[in-house]
Amino acid sequence: MIPKQALKHLTTAVVLAAMFGSPSTMAAEEKETAEESTPFDAPAIEMPAPAPAVLGFVDARRSQSLNGKWNFIVDPMGVGQPGGFFGGWATDRVPVDEWQVLEYNYAGSRKISVPGDFNTQFEDLLFYRDGVWYQRWFDVEPKPGKRYHLWFGGSNYTTSVYLNGTPMAKQVGGYVPYSIDVTDALKSGGNDLVISVNNRLEKHSVPTPRTDWWPYGGLIRDVMLIETPSAHLVNAKVELADLSGRVEGVVATQGLRAGDTVTVSIAELDFSTEVTVGSDGQGQWTAMLKPELWSPENPKLYDVEFATADEQLSDRIGFRLIEARGTEIFLNGKRIRFKGISTHEEPIGRDGAAYSKADFEALFGEAKALGANFVRAAHYPYARHAAQVADELGLMLWEEVPIYWNIAWENPETLEIAKDQITRLVTRDWNRASVVIWSVANETPYSEPRMAFLEALINEVRSLDDTRLVSAALLGDVSRELKDAALYLAAYGAASDEVSKHERDIFKAMLDKAGDHAPAVGSGFELVIDDPLGELLDVVSYNEYFGWYYARFIAPQLGVSEKTVRKLMFKFMEHVVLSAAFDKPMHISEFGAGAKSGKRGEGPWTEEYQAEVYRAQSRMIMNSPQIQGMTPWILKDFRAMLRTLPGIQDYRNRKGLIDENGQRKQAFYVLRDFYEGSWANVE
């Protein structure tokens, strides 16, 4: 029997279908709904998006942490939806006596820690990608004249928030901060907060379901209730405009009237200015401050204060200038190289998503120990602590959104999600001196719709922040490149006495066929990245896997063993020159090889082989003058459900220079030597 409460919300067509089957006269669209619905479904609830503007300076605001233990229900069938047959609002959830049947109840549920992904808090959820519910109570005494904002550092992937039975907002897209003004729904005393999070990804989401990392689900980051005066500062941007020492700023406020002021001061520079806001709540300022500049060698930060009539906020902000001129990169007017390493947002020694300052201090501390001055924070926005720690440690940072491989380029909703993610990332971190690159994509194959999508995104980024470099990790035209490379390898093979006679004959036949085009041993092989997206970028970045995947692709094409190709490739790499068809700096955003920590020997998966790939790559990069930076793949082994190989991968990508527990592999030291040696200084 269909409960009355559910009936109320179901469309006539759905109810008829559920009770009597689908009448054949039903319109096609209704029929589809009827087939997918059951009488137990809850009504769809329309919810607005969270506040469009990111609330800045959250660590300096009055707040109540909502971190801690929450009630938690795993709901693969989607029955927890309020208003549905099984669900219900928190107030219904305590049975009046033992005669009342409740099939959905938070009392007695598992407890989960927030922040923290759910996949790694419970063994049975490691591979889970679907809906869960969080619930907790919190006490508050709302004060008149104040506004209250529920703030989330980031949750994965679709999050719907209900407060005291009222649907508040729905955020689509993971990894970025958002807030919801809940002032009108708050009660004095106990408040019931219910949140549904679903980490299922779809074709049109950002990213799509297939990724080479595990998109940990849940309330992965801090949750707070933030109190602001009703007239308050929303966000502000402070930046060094040029090397003369001119600093510019923008303030964005809410509730202030045109003519009201925000005082911006930096005591250490003996500076204070009154910024008058206009009718749009925004104001701008500029001043000649000549601050001491931030750099990896001198990560100088200043306390900057923002005060309105009702509040006083502060942040630690550094000043620096990053520029690309021709094929070179300059920090504070001096040529530099990015001595980098790629990372995922995973802590050392614990599975799951990193979320605390200590997590990032440990992770980025290993990057420092490697001699790095740069980190590529792949492939999505990390918790806010990442850039704060990079600011303090003196690490330049590449930040990225999860536009990964192919996404639904032609879907307007997908573009909206991507824009929302990059806007929230940029406006959260635009005061972090460490951030020098915004990256809009990773390995996206060429197509016209991809070009239009990424152009829109790049324009969005530049309009928000034109003081940083824009890049994307490009894929190149791998099949073309490998075909060309195979012929060069054949030249090495034909001259080698380490290959079998049969293989030598294959190489010779290839060279004969190429005739005059046959390359000689030792002749340079130039690989030019000409993806038209390069035209729109400041830095042309390229992911390449010479010494790892490329050998695997080439061997079967030639009909020779992978061992032969791998050995020849190390020699051949010395003569490869990488470049880009644009007068711009080039960055090697990835190279790498898999190694199981402690596995010794000489073939793939051994530490020795990985170290050899790093040596060969270093030589290749030294040969390629357009390359100004590199971020090999990757600092630490990480969870990747694409990586199933038993005994070696066990659902981890093994290209780390350290394993998941922090144990360093041989290649760590090879890269450290390179960063301290040949790559240390710009000649």
Give residues in contact with ligand GCB (CB under 6 A): 212, 379, 442-443, 543, 590, 633, 653, 655
CB 285 within 8 A of CB 380: no
Q: What's phi and psi for 408, nearest 5 deg?
A: -80, 80
Closest approach, Cβ 268 to ligand GCB, in A, equals: 41
Closest approach, Cβ 44 to ligand GCB, in A, equals: 35
Task: Specify the residue, 247 or 613, whose C-beta has the smaller distance to ligand GCB.
Answer: 613
Task: Specify the residue, 401 or 491, whose C-beta has the smaller distance to ligand GCB.
Answer: 401
Closest approach, Cβ 474 to ligand GCB, in A, equals: 11
Whether omega before 207 lies within 30 degrees of 0, making that bond cis, reads yes
Rounding to the nearest 10 degrees, give the CA dihedral for residues 98, 71, 226, 383.
Answer: -170
CB 577 within 8 A of CB 583: no
- Please, is 403 exposed, middle or buried when counting C-beta atoms within 10 Å of its C-beta (0-12, 13-18, 19+)? buried
Task: Specify the residue, 385 or 655, whose C-beta has the smaller distance to ligand GCB.
Answer: 655
Closest approach, Cβ 207 to ligand GCB, in A, equals: 10
State the amino acid at position 19 in one-letter form.
Answer: M
Q: What is the DSSP letter of 412?
A: H
State the amino acid at position 560 in one-letter form.
Answer: V
DSSP-derived 3-state class of residue 19: helix
CB 396 within 8 A of CB 375: yes
Task: Specify the residue, 209 or 677, whose C-beta has the smaller distance to ligand GCB.
Answer: 209
Q: Which two tokens stand for residue 619?
A: 């030589």
Tell me how far apart the alpha carbons of residues 353 and 153 are, in angstroms, rounded to a whole number.
13
Task: Specify the residue, 71 or 442, whose C-beta has the smaller distance to ligand GCB.
Answer: 442
Closest approach, Cβ 379 to ligand GCB, in A, equals: 6
Terminal alpha carbon distance of the chain? 80
Closest approach, Cβ 483 to ligand GCB, in A, equals: 19
Tell me how far apart the alpha carbons of residues 436 and 374 are, in angstroms, rounded to a whole number.
9
- CB closest to ligand GCB, residue no: 212
Task: Specify the residue, 379 or 636, whose C-beta has the smaller distance to ligand GCB.
Answer: 379
Task: Specify the residue, 275 or 593, whose C-beta has the smaller distance to ligand GCB.
Answer: 593
Question: What are residue 629's DSSP bridge partners?
Answer: 338, 587
Closest approach, Cβ 631 to ligand GCB, in A, equals: 11
What is the 3-state secondary structure of 629-655? EECCCCCECEECCCCCCCCCCCCEECC
Task: Specify the residue, 237 or 379, whose C-beta has the smaller distance to ligand GCB.
Answer: 379
CB 340 within 8 A of CB 324: no
Closest approach, Cβ 16 to ligand GCB, in A, equals: 49
Closest approach, Cβ 475 to ligand GCB, in A, equals: 8
Tell me how far apart the alpha carbons of residues 603 and 159 are, in angstroms, rounded to a whole number.
45
Per DSSP bridges, beta strands 62-65 and 576-580 are unpaired
CB 667 within 8 A of CB 636: no
Alpha helices in 394-517 (DSSP H): 412-429, 448-464, 478-494, 501-514
Closest approach, Cβ 477 to ligand GCB, in A, equals: 15
Task: Specify the residue, 58 or 657, whose C-beta has the smaller distance to ligand GCB.
Answer: 657
Tell me how far apart the alpha carbons of residues 609 and 595 are, in angstroms, rounded to a whole number.
8
Closest approach, Cβ 445 to ligand GCB, in A, equals: 12
Closest approach, Cβ 507 to ligand GCB, in A, equals: 28
Task: Specify the residue, 319 or 404, whose C-beta has the smaller distance to ligand GCB.
Answer: 404
DSSP-derived 3-state class of residue 295: coil
Task: Specify the residue, 117 or 443, whose C-beta has the smaller distance to ligand GCB.
Answer: 443
DSSP-derived 3-state class of residue 397: strand
- Distances from the Cα of 523 to the Cα of 479, 484, 491, 570, 615, angstroms: 21, 13, 10, 15, 20
Task: Specify the residue, 137 or 446, whose C-beta has the smaller distance to ligand GCB.
Answer: 446
Tell me how far apart the alpha carbons of residues 663 and 596 are, in angstroms, rounded to a whole number.
11
